[in-house]
Amino acid sequence: MKNKVWIKTEITTHLEQDIRIQPTPEFDGITLEFKDIDDTDYKGRLYLNTESLEALIAKMRETMDYVKE
């Protein structure tokens, strides 16, 4: 495995939910976690509008491409 900088991205949606995207510890995929903005732990349901969905897909593709390099 190549040495890589750990990249973690957080997005806040229109319904005040936080989405966290980051590589798996093994750099063989990505993890996606979410929570309401007032919660301290990442859990719960996620609802996206078109704009939030497009931002999420773009970051997931970017992170997956990064871990596959």
C-alpha to C-alpha distance for 9 and 43, rounded to whole angstroms: 16
C-alpha distances in Å from residue 69, one per residue of 9, 14, 56: 18, 32, 20
Number of Cβ atoms within 10 Å of the Cβ of 42: 15
pLDDT for 41: 92
55 inside domain: yes
What's the average model confidence in pLDDT over 19-32?
Answer: 89
Of 19 and 48, more confident: 19
Domain hosting residue 51, numbered range: 9-68
17 inside domain: yes
1 inside domain: no
pLDDT for 52: 87
> Tens digit of pLDDT for each residue in 39-62?
999 986 677 888 888 999 999 999
4 inside domain: no
Count up the domains in the chain and report the number.
1
Given a cut of 90, is residue 18 above it in pLDDT?
yes
Q: Grade residue 11 by pLDDT with cuts at 50, 70 and 90.
A: very high
What's the average model confidence in pLDDT over 25-41?
Answer: 89
Secondary structure (3-state) at 65: helix
